[in-house]
Structure 1
Amino acid sequence: MKLKRKSKLSLEQEAVLITLLYADIFDFPLTKSEIWRYLIAKKKMDQRVFDQSLQSLPSYIVQVNSYYCLINREKIIEKRIKNLPEVEKKLKIAQKVAKRLSSIATIAFIGISGGLAAQNVTPDDDIDLFIIVKKDSVFISRFLIMVLLQSMGIRRRYGQKRAPNKVCVNLLIDETALTWPNAKQDVYIAREIAQIQPLFQRDEMLVRFCKHNKWVKNCMPNAFEHIPIISVHSNSISQIISTILAFPLFEIIMRMLQTAIMKGHKTTEIITNNHLAFHPKDYRVDTLDQLKLKIRQLGLLTKI
């Protein structure tokens, strides 16, 4: 789809339009509150100006019920509405999993990431989790997480092409690796962080994570405005067991075993002592390139 620029837009109008351009890359419409939350802008915008900007782009965007998308892209609204029951189904699974995983004493935060965090899923999709653990406990935590997921019958295994409703911990870091690397502080990562749906935390870990990533607000100034925390109760017996296993010796043993296994099929994964990232395909560069192309096609002045 190619849209032609008809008139010069204000920076505020461009911010609204670029936010919808970004969502369109994923064939996904947004509600008004989502456009506000994920607004791609250099600085904070007044709510009244935002409302006016959103309503002043009839040549570019369309509203159907409570959803907004680019003009002539209304079919993606139908798709989102159709998949709403699937979103609810997967959210319930994620909440159940978080309740079980919260019994692992080394886990400080559990959040939904990826497509489910954005509410953009289909029946065939898995459930991605982002987990933060205590210092020097990445590998023992991963071992305990895999054991629990396996016992629940919902662990996504390496190499599975289709894994509907299976759980994948695609990002696991410890509390010494909260700040995102400077080289990857961009709109794509900002959106991934801003859309995380928290399920569980200890010691205000989410607050700490947000403070370490204040740069996100340079891309999305409305990020971190309202982040609900869902209370999850832990199993005391499981906590005792995981606390015993969290001794440094067990971490060293688990690190040696797991790194040896992962070396055999390592591709784009990131494996360090405090950071494990499992992304079979990195969409970051391609997504940013597509966004820049869309911006150029419309002749917008905003630089990403």
Structure 2
Amino acid sequence: MKSIATISQQNNRQLLITRNNILAALAYFDMWDYPLTRGEIYLFLERKHGQNEFDQALTYLTNNKLIFRFDQFYSLKNDYMVAARRLKGNKKAAGLMTKAKEAGAFLIKFPYVRGIAISGSLSKNCADDNSDIDFFIITTANRLWLARTFMHLFKKLTFLVGKQHNYCMNYYVDEAQLQIVEKNIYTAIEVATIIPVEGDTTFENFYKANTWISDFLPNKCMRLATANPLRKHRIKSFIELLFNNRLGAWLDHTLMHITAGRWNKKTEQKKLNMRGAVMSMAAGRHFAKPAPENFQQRLIERYRLKLSGLLQEQEDSLMR
């Protein structure tokens, strides 16, 4: 039988792991000054923990001022304004959500589009006066570039009426390769927080292809119930009929090379987007997405450094 001392050591070790996981969840969202509720922290833990154990760890961190509580929110910063800004951002996001769903209902009508989800900050219930409405889009296999071209021709028209920020279509995959290649905490959170609005069965297949996210977020559930089923649209079906042949395959392949070439030139010339970042895109037969090395890797490194400092701070507090 285990001695009382051994059991106590194991419990203390488990509580330390739980505290570290809580700090990790808060550290990630703190990069955007975004505090979390108790329930949100639990959903974004890297491991499964019992509720009592979780509450003990949360209380310890709060009592020892390693984290701070403001009403229902927990933060790494001892600043009530982070909670106030979050509430303001949540209110703004609620207003944008209706527009996003309307935009999604329109975008699903484009040829070869099989799934539309809200992504980016809005999918995390956060927005400000400068927020875009970002979309994650799934297309028919081997017709991604035709679909993307149709949609971005429409996007050019939105600039004429100042609605371009409502249609930020920056991440595409097709049904031939639904699994996200980059597997890390950033992509796991992005996949786990997208809000499917169109294409229920499409996203059911997408989540089946991305069960790896449970390795990073074992407590997070997906949002299948939010997506509408696909409906037939006559014009969409007619255009698809025109390109369901060798011509369509050739056009899709050609459009991929043309688009990739243009984006490569933008990157080489270090052209900046509206946020001041170098414009870049990763392009392949079955995907079109922001180049991971230009954002993901830098963000993950920043996160790791931040978390390392927090864990060291907690270790120092135990030595006092």
The 3-state SS of whatever aligns with 1:172 is: strand
Residues 146 and 255 of structure 2 are in contact (CA less than 8 Å); yes or no, is this contact kept in structure 1? no
Question: For the residues of structure 2 that align with 1:206 and 1:78, how far apart are their CA atoms?
Answer: 34
Residue correspondences, number: 285
- Counterpart of 1:293 in structure 2 is 305
C-alpha change, 1:235 and 1:205, in structure 2 (3 Å) is closer
Q: Which residue of 1 aligns with 2:175?
A: 175
Which residue identity is paired with 1:85? K
- Supply the AA of the counterpart residue of 1:221: P
- 2-side partners of 1:15 and 1:28: how far apart? 17
Per-residue deviation, residues 163-184 of structure 1 (Å, max 9, x unmatched)? 8733211111111111222xx2
Question: What is the rounded CA distance, in whole Å, between the counterparts of 2:292 and 2:222 in structure 1?
Answer: 31
Instruction: Output aligned runs, 1:41-120, within 5 Å.
Output: 41=46, 43-58=47-62, 59-120=65-126
The amino acid of 1:284's aligned partner reads Q
Partner of 1:240: 237
Corresponding position: 1:130 with 2:128: no
Over the aligned positions, Cα root-mean-square deviation in angstroms equals: 3.0
Going from structure 1 to structure 2, the CA distance change for 1:225 and 1:101 (only over 3 Å counts) comes to closer
Distance in structure 2 (CA, Å) of the matches to 1:287 and 1:12:
23
Counterpart-to-counterpart distance in 2, 1:234 and 1:300: 54
Cα deviation code 1:203-254 (max 9, x no counterpart): x221222222222111111123554323267462233234324424234224
- The answer (yes or no) to whether the contact 2:143–2:252 under 8 Å persists in 1 is no
Q: Which moved more, 1:28-37 or 1:18-27?
A: 28-37
Larger helix share, 1 or 2: 2
CA contact under 8 A between 1:140 and 1:251: conserved in structure 2?
no
Pair 78,252 (structure 1): closer, same or farther in 2 beyond 3 Å: same
The alignment status of 1:205 with 2:209, answered yes or no, reads: no
Q: 1:217 aligns with which of 206, 214, 217?
A: 214
Matches within 5 A, 1:11-50: 11-39=17-45, 41=46, 43-50=47-54
Q: Deviations over 1:19-49 (max 9, x none)?
A: 001110111111222222222x2x3222333
Contact 1:132 1:175 in 2 (8 A): yes
Structure 1 runs not aligned, ≥5 long: 1-6, 158-162
Compared with structure 1, are the counterparts of its residues 137 and 193 closer, same or farther at alpha carbon in structure 2 (3 Å cutoff)? same
Asked if the contact 1:135–1:174 (Cα under 8 Å) also holds between the matched residues in 2, the reply is yes
Q: TM-score, normalised by structure 1?
A: 0.82
Aligned to 1:271: 283
The amino acid across from 2:177 in the alignment is A
3-state SS in 2 of match to 1:54: helix
Task: After superposing the two structures, state which structure 1 stretch, 14-23 or 260-269, moved more.
Answer: 260-269
Structure 1 equivalent of residue 275 of structure 2: none
Shift of 1:100: 1.0
Which region of structure 1 is more displaced relative to structure 2, 128-137 or 217-226?
217-226
Instruction: Give the whole-Å Cα distance in 2 for the aligned partners of 1:274 and 1:72.
Output: 45
Structure 2, unpaired ranges of 5+: 1-11, 268-279, 315-320
**Contact 2:256–2:284 (CA under 8 A) maintained in structure 1:** no
Q: Which residue does 1:252 correspond to in 2?
A: 250
**Residue pair 2:23, 2:310 contacting (<8 A) in 1 also:** no
Tell which structure's C-alpha radius of gyration is larger. 2
What secondary structure is seen at the aligned counterpart in 2 of 1:36?
A: helix
C-alpha change, 1:91 and 1:282, in structure 2 (3 Å) is farther
Report 1 or 2 for greater relative contact order, CA contacts < 8 Å, sequence distance ≥ 6. 1
> In 2, are the aligned partners of 1:110 and 1:130 still within 8 Å (CA)?
yes
